[in-house]
């Protein structure tokens, strides 16, 4: 099971239905609620109310906003069969509490089983490496559609992991 967790890529958890190219939320609370509601539409077995509550509790511990307009909200939920993710882009940007003070425009929500606590750390590290690339962020902001956003993520993730294997 640990080998399976190690091999999971962030982009493999995403489908076109899990990508929101135009997130309309204006506040951190609205972002979390919109992401949770969208997950519920695509993954009907997820208790949206519980998911959103867990996301709020996680954000109260410390912000999941990184610098350069990126946030990776993440949560562990009991009883999930497999991890999944959703990706959203805000054209306006949201004050999400980033240390650099810039508005957050790219959101990658990671949801993993509470019973596998180490799995989310690997996913978080992968996501942070991909989204720390300025070229990737620029292309994500310029992408014309949800499927193009997903293609950009996959391409950059493959490039980053190929570089890590070569190192």
Cβ-proximal residues to 121 (8 Å cutoff; 6+ apart), any chain: none
DSSP secondary structure code for residue 6 in this structure: H
How many structural domains compose the chain? 1
Average pLDDT taken over every residue of the chain:
89
Query: What is the average per-residue pLDDT within 112-131?
Result: 84
Query: What is the average per-residue pLDDT within 61-67?
Result: 95
In this prediction, residue 77 carries a pLDDT of 86
The answer to whether the CB of 156 falls within 8 A of the CB of 133 is: yes
Query: pLDDT category, 165, cuts 50, 70, 90?
Result: low
Is the confidence at residue 92, as pLDDT, over 60? yes
Spatial distance between the Cα atoms of 12 and 72, rounded to a whole number of angstroms: 16
Strands, E, within 45-100: which ranges? 70-71, 74-77, 84-94
Is the confidence at residue 99, as pLDDT, over 70? yes
Q: Identify which has the larger pLDDT, 7 or 54.
A: 54
The answer to whether the CB of 124 falls within 8 A of the CB of 109 is: no
Range of the domain at 73: 2-166
Query: What is the average per-residue pLDDT within 127-155?
Result: 95
**Tokens 């499927």 correspond to what residue?**
147
Query: For 2, what's the count of Cα atoms within 13 Å in the CB-facing half-sphere?
Result: 2
**Tokens 């790219």 correspond to what residue?**
106
In this prediction, residue 120 carries a pLDDT of 75
Dihedral sign of CA atoms 73, 164, 150, 117 in order: negative
Tens-digit pLDDT profile for residues 15-53: 999 999 999 999 999 999 999 999 999 988 889 999 999
In this prediction, residue 162 carries a pLDDT of 74
Note the pTM of the prediction, 2 decimals.
0.91
Query: pLDDT category, 3, cuts 50, 70, 90?
Result: very low
CATH code of 74's domain: 3.40.930.10
């Amino acid at each position: 099971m640990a080998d399976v967790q190690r091999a999971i890529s962030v982009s493999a958890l995403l489908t076109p239905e899990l990508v929101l190219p135009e997130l309309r939320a204006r506040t951190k609370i609205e972002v979390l609620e919109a992401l949770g509601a969208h997950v519920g539409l695509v993954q009907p077995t997820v208790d949206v109310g519980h998911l959103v509550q867990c996301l709020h509790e996680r954000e109260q511990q410390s912000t999941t906003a990184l610098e350069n307009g990126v946030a990776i909200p993440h949560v562990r939920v009991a009883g999930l069969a497999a991890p999944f993710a959703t990706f959203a882009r805000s054209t306006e940007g949201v004050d999400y509490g980033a240390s650099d003070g810039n508005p957050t425009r790219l959101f990658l929500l990671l949801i993993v089983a509470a019973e596998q606590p180490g799995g989310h750390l690997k996913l978080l590290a992968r996501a942070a490496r991909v989204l720390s690339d300025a070229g990737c962020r620029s292309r994500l902001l310029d992408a014309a559609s949800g499927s193009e956003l997903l293609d950009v993520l996959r391409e950059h993730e493959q490039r980053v992991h190929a570089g890590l294997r070569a190192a």
